[in-house]
């Protein structure tokens, strides 16, 4: 299994503070059955900005330790890129990273809004052959109030990534229900942990998948894991036509 969204680099954002903590997290990833992980530190976030150079430097250090301690895990480079108006230009200038050097890029919306230029950026990226994957849309306030907003972005060509903790109930019942609704509506394409540490923001990778299985969403589990692998392989996703989402008001606590 491949985890496409993680904060495992140490001392750079709101992930682990020390290398030892990173190694403990990676051992836990292996315990959960994860064989590869994409390091997606925050980029152009209001509080954190981890440059591509820092990402590559840290991955080299971490992978060396992983090999030393025989942790059977492959680490790939990426970023969780906050949506900014100049994203297309930043990609051209190689100031942001795609996921595992693929055509897919993980983008983060602000927690409470969807910027007016979001559709325009999605279209620009698609024209350049880059596929945006919206990270944890289930935790965006606008989408929680009007899931149809996410449907609009998906129909423009965006993909989405649901978070394991959301499905496992870590962020509350409302987020869990919305997450399941989005999955059932074919508005989710990939799956990631968004792990930050082993206490308050753990992997919960298997817990999220188990919740989907319990809700008889076995096809979704298979789809997410396959598409995660296709990111590493830089292949096209398996896609299902999104269904129209009914308006459901759901207040979130951030």
Cβ(180)–Cβ(215) under 8 Å? yes
207 CB neighbour count, 10 Å cutoff: 16
- pLDDT score of 245: 62
Q: Please give the pLDDT value at position 252.
A: 40
The pTM is what?
A: 0.93
* pLDDT of res. 242: 79
**So what's the pLDDT on residue 244?**
67
Given this model, what pLDDT does residue 25 score?
96
Provide the CA 251 distance to its chain's centre, in angstroms: 22
Domain locations along the chain: 2-233
Which pLDDT score is estimated for 211?
96
Residue carrying structure tokens 């074919």: 186
Q: What is the pLDDT of residue 239?
A: 87
CB distance 189 to 133 below 8 Å: yes
Report, as ranges of residue numbers, the positions in the chain whose pLDDT lies below 50: 247-254
Give the pLDDT score at 192. 97
Distance spanning both ends of the chain, measured CA to CA: 29
Contacts of 120 (CB under 8 A, 6+ apart): none
Overall fold of domain 2-233: TIM Barrel (3.20.20)
């Amino acid at each position: 299994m491949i985890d496409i969204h993680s904060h495992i680099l140490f001392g750079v954002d709101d992930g682990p503070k020390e290398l030892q903590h990173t190694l403990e997290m990676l051992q836990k990833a292996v315990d959960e059955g994860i064989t590869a992980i994409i390091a997606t530190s925050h980029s152009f976030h209001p509080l954190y900005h981890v440059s591509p150079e820092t990402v590559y430097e840290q991955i080299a250090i971490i992978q060396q330790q992983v090999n030393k301690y025989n942790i059977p895990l492959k680490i790939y480079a990426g970023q969780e890129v906050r949506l900014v108006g100049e994203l297309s230009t930043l990609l051209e200038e190689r100031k942001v990273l795609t996921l595992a050097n693929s055509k897919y890029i993980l983008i983060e919306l602000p927690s409470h809004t969807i910027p007016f230029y979001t559709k325009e950026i999605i279209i620009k990226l698609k024209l350049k052959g880059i596929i945006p994957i919206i990270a944890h849309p289930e935790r965006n306030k606008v989408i929680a109030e009007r899931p149809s907003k996410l449907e609009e972005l998906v129909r423009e060509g965006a993909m989405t990534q649901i978070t394991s903790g959301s499905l496992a109930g870590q962020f509350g019942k409302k987020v869990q229900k919305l997450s399941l609704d989005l999955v059932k509506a074919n508005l989710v394409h990939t799956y990631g942990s968004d792990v930050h540490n082993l206490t308050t923001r753990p992997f919960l990778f298997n817990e999220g998948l188990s919740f989907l299985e319990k809700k008889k969403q076995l096809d979704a589990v298979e789809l997410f894991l396959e598409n995660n692998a296709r990111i590493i392989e830089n292949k096209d996703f398996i896609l299902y036509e999104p269904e129209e989402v009914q308006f459901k008001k759901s207040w979130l606590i951030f």
